[in-house]
Amino acid sequence: MRRNAIEFRRVLTPVFLALVLTTFGWEAAGQTPNHPAGDGGKAQTGQHQAASKQNSGDTSGSPASVKAEKDQAEEIQVLKELLAAQQKQIEQLRVALEEQRQTIEHALQAKQDQEPQAPSLGQVASNDPVIPKSATRVENSPGPKAALPVAAAPAAAAEKGTDEVSPLQFHIGTATIMPVGFMDFTTVFRNHTGGSGIGTNFGSIPYGSTTFQGNLSEFRLSMQNSRIGFRVDGDVKGAHVIGYMESDFLGNNPGNVAVSSNSNTLRSRLYWLDVKRSKWEILGGQTWSLLTPGRSGISPLPGDLFFTQNIDVNYQVGLAWGRIPEFRFVYHPTSKVAFAVAASSPEQYIGGSAGGGKVTFPAAVSSTYTAGELNDGSTTLGVPNVAPDVIAKLAVDPSKKFHFELGGIMRNFKLWNPTDGTKHTAIGGGGFVNLNLELFKGFRLMTHNFWSDGGGRYIFGQAPDLISRVDGSPSLIHSSSTVTGLEYTHKNWLIYSYYGGVYVGRNVTIDTNGKPVGYGYSGSSTGQNRAIQEATFGLNQTIWKEAKWGAVNFMAQYSYLTRNPWSVATGQPANANMHMVFLNLRYSLPGSAPAAKK
């Protein structure tokens, strides 16, 4: 631009001088001033000639006079040609400047399109829900949103002055420490008694009308989903380091917690360290599993992940996810592509968690397989897992409006049969395909799909991983799930709708006594589900927001949930169903994560 400005001045200088000389003439030896054409010019010329005659006599027609008039005409013609040439150069320069302006604008737009959708990471460092939002990328993220619809406190604010920086941020040496979280007040109503607090146990909603759970509704108030934690950012020897810790109050409460004091138990959700240098990234700790769907890129930050906008702390039925210990390698060949491989903490699972139905074992191995060799939802950390689960994922973001990812998981199982002392192994696995697309401004479609043999643990435990044959060898259960829906943001409003579904395959073997065992056999428990489905509609409105002080949001969710068991006794209903309404008031802490050095 500076070069163009110099060129512009070089062209305009002779033009300006020519205009001055043309208008006022110039006094030079042997030259007569030039005058503009028109009557005024003629009158002035006549007056000048009259004065000349009085002073020196009439010399019209003399050779000198004729020569002067000829020279004057030639000079006027030369100036006209010069002006025309300069006008042409000015027009050429104007066209060149316009082309350069358009080139710069196109380059800036291309750079924005190359960058993944930015998470306004400073708004709320851990959020549920997460609202996709176009913004300038915050370079402290190992992947790339946005958070609640609060006023952004962008990382760039720190460069503009302390008035624009969140007060909830401080520095120790070169590290920036930012408290994260929000305060929730949640109301839940269900037309049947779920018996699971504010989180829904999808696989065990009341079946039939012979119990109090099926005949009584429930109403509950809670602050358990409130979050608290911190985030630490620093640059160390050319690498950007993020430490992240997050907790809520949904831990294992004592039996009398709801009687008087409601002293809810703090529990760990996330606790990890991420180091990124150039195109490489390493993460270790308890994190959202690599199998969890992303909104953009590959990143462990909650704002970059998809776990729906639901108020329900167990999210949406059909969502494949995990928050487990994991060691992860990520390679970013470009800003649009990322590839990752992770070793995740394993667990051999046979049902019983979050309402998922348990399998039935052959009599010979039932006692040992249900006494700690396999996890039935009550074995804590005692299961002897043979090897970590290995997960791989490829994520592609051609633009901030489109995100696509696919990947797979490999699992290893190993059992010991006490009746004959033999060991049995099996290898299971699955794959997933996820898509997130903005059709027009503020309107996004998404679909997340998971298929597996032995991967039921990752569908929120709604499906067991395996059954046992009579000889004690494992036989894997096929399971699959999906969450498909839409989200629309407009000003301070977010409206969303999802469909979620889980399918659990039948896997049956015959025991030595001739009776069927396993999962989904005739006469099995109504807890052994074939399908679970949920339709959800909800909204999120920002009531108040201020970049320095946070935001207040009101949220509402309605869900219709149904489950179908594999075996239905004569005269019993074909399914169980439940209507649920959630209301939530949230105050989100402010905060602006620092930008990483480039």
The model's pLDDT over 27-66, given as tens digits with 9 standing for 90+, comes to 433 444 444 344 444 444 444 444 444 444 444 556 667 7
What's the CA angle centered on 168, arms 162 and 172, to 5 degrees?
80
Q: 559 or 69, which is more confident?
A: 559
pLDDT score of 72 = 79
pLDDT score of 41 = 44
Average pLDDT of the segment spanning 565-572: 92
The tens digit of pLDDT for each residue in 348-376 reads: 999 999 999 999 999 999 998 998 999 99
Q: Provide CB contacts within 8 A for 447, sequence distance 6+.
A: 434, 435, 482, 483, 484, 485
List domains and CATH numbers for the chain. Answer: 2-114 (no CATH), 155-588 (2.40.160.10)
Q: How confident is the model at residue 111 (pLDDT cuts 50, 70, 90)?
A: low
Q: Which pair of tokens denotes residue 61?
A: 């027609």
Q: Provide CB contacts within 8 A for 17, sequence distance 6+.
A: none
Q: Say which DSSP state 313 is in.
A: T
Residue 476: closest CA among 511, 494, 451, 513: 451
Phi-psi region of 195 (alpha: psi -120 to 50; beta: other; left: phi over 0): left
Average pLDDT of the segment spanning 244-272: 94
What is the Cα–Cα distance from 472 to 423, expressed in whole angstroms?
8
Residue 333 predicted with pLDDT over 80:
yes
What is the Cα–Cα distance from 353 to 374, expressed in whole angstroms?
12
Q: Provide CB contacts within 8 A for 294, sequence distance 6+.
A: 143, 304, 305, 306, 395, 403, 405, 434
Q: Provide CB contacts within 8 A for 583, sequence distance 6+.
A: 186, 187, 311, 554, 555, 556
Q: Does residue 590 have a cis bond before it (omega within 30 degrees)?
A: no
What is the Cα–Cα distance from 384 to 406, expressed in whole angstroms?
30
Contact between 178 and 168 (Cβ < 8 Å): yes
CB neighbour burial string for 477-516, b if at least 16 within 10 angstroms, e if fewer? bbbbbbbbbebbbeeeebbbebbbbbbbbbbbbebeeeee
What φ, ψ does residue 120 adopt, rounded to 5°?
A: -70, 70
- Please state, rounded to an integer, the average pLDDT across all residues of the chain: 83
Residue 96 predicted with pLDDT over 70:
yes
pLDDT score of 537 = 98
Residue 530 predicted with pLDDT over 80:
yes
Average pLDDT of the segment spanning 333-341: 97
Cβ count within 10 A of residue 563: 26
Q: Worst-scoring range by mean pLDDT, 61-70, 119-128, 274-283, 501-510?
A: 119-128
pLDDT score of 170 = 86
Residue 449 predicted with pLDDT over 50:
yes
What is the Cα–Cα distance from 190 to 203, expressed in whole angstroms?
15
Average pLDDT of the segment spanning 383-399: 97
Contact between 232 and 173 (Cβ < 8 Å): no
- Containing 282, the helix (H) or strand (E) segment is strand 280-288
Average pLDDT of the segment spanning 242-259: 93
Point out which residues pair with 550 in neighbouring strands: 546
> Could you identify the residue written with the tokens 């949640």?
186
Cβ count within 10 A of residue 99: 10
pLDDT score of 166 = 58
Q: Provide CB contacts within 8 A for 341, sequence distance 6+.
A: 328, 329, 390, 391, 392
Q: 266 or 132, which is more confident?
A: 266
414 burial (CB, 10 Å; 0-12 / 13-18 / 19+) is middle
pLDDT score of 597 = 54
Amino acid residing at 437: L
pLDDT score of 158 = 38
Residue 285 predicted with pLDDT over 60:
yes
Residue 182 predicted with pLDDT over 50:
yes
Contact between 585 and 556 (Cβ < 8 Å): no
Point out which residues pair with 424 in neighbouring strands: 415
> Could you identify the residue written with the tokens 């006209």?
80
In this prediction the pTM is: 0.75
Write down the H helix ranges in 353-456. 363-368
3-class DSSP state of 318: coil
Q: How confident is the model at residue 151 (pLDDT cuts 50, 70, 90)?
A: very low
Contact between 199 and 314 (Cβ < 8 Å): yes
Greatest alpha-carbon pair distance for the chain in Å reads 146
- Containing 56, the helix (H) or strand (E) segment is helix 39-56
Kind of pairing, strands 389-399 and 337-344? antiparallel
What φ, ψ does residue 597 adopt, rounded to 5°?
A: -70, 140
3-class DSSP state of 351: coil
What φ, ψ does residue 249 adopt, rounded to 5°?
A: -115, 35
